[in-house]
Structure 1
Amino acid sequence: MTSTLPLPLPLPLPLPLPRIAVRPEPARPPARVAEILVAARDILEREGADALTMRRIGEVLGIRAPSLYKHLASKDALAAGLAEVALAEVGEHLHRAVDEADAGAVAAALIGAYRGYALAHPNLYRMFTAGRLPRAALSSGLEQWAGEPFYRATGDPYRAQALWAATHGAVLLELEERYLPGSDLDRTYAALAEAFAA
Structure 2
Amino acid sequence: MPTPDRTSLAEIVTAARDILESEGLPRLTMQAVAERVGVRAPSLYKRVRNRDALIRLVTEATVRDLGERLEAVAGSGDPGTDLGELARVFRAFAHAHPAGYHLIFANGPAETRPSLDSLTRASAPALRVAADLAGPEHALEAARMFTAWANGFVSMELAGAFNLGGDLDEAFEFGIIRLTAAFTTPEPPRAG
TM-score (norm 2): 0.78
Residue aligning to 1:102: 78
CA distance in 2, matches of 1:106, 1:174: 22
Letter in 1 for 2:55: A
Partner SS, residue 183 of structure 1: coil
After the TM superposition, list the runs of 4 or more consecutive aligned residues in structure 1 that deviate by more than 6 angstroms. Answer: none
Structure 1: any 5+ residue segments left out of the alignment? 1-29
Q: CA deviation at 1:66?
A: 2.6
Indicate how the Cα distance of structure 1 residues 173 and 96 shifts in structure 2: closer, same or farther if over 3 A, else same: same
On the 8 A contact 1:80/1:134 being kept in 2, the answer is no
CA distance in 2, matches of 1:119, 1:136: 22
TM-score (norm 1): 0.76
The answer to whether structure 1 residue 192 and structure 2 residue 175 are counterparts is: yes
On the 8 A contact 2:30/2:50 being kept in 1, the answer is no
The answer to whether structure 1 residue 41 and structure 2 residue 14 are counterparts is: no
How is 1:35-184 mapped onto 2 (pairs within 5 angstroms)? 35-100=11-76, 102-132=78-108, 134=110, 141-155=117-131, 156-180=139-163, 182-184=165-167
Letter in 2 for 1:177: G
In the TM superposition, what whole-angstrom CA distance separates every residue of 1:4-59 from its partner, at most 9, and x where no partner exists? xxxxxxxxxxxxxxxxxxxxxxxxxx953222111111111222222211121122
Letter in 2 for 1:51: R
CA distance in 2, matches of 1:139, 1:178: 30
Indicate how the Cα distance of structure 1 residues 135 and 62 shifts in structure 2: closer, same or farther if over 3 A, else same: closer
Larger Rg: 2
On the 8 A contact 1:101/1:109 being kept in 2, the answer is no
Partner SS, residue 113 of structure 1: helix
On the 8 A contact 2:53/2:112 being kept in 1, the answer is no
Q: CA deviation at 1:117?
A: 0.7
Structure 2: any 5+ residue segments left out of the alignment? 1-5, 132-138, 185-192
Aligned length: 169
Q: CA deviation at 1:145?
A: 1.5
Identity of aligned residues (%): 33
Relative CO higher for 1 or 2, CA cutoff 8 Å, sep ≥ 6?
A: 1
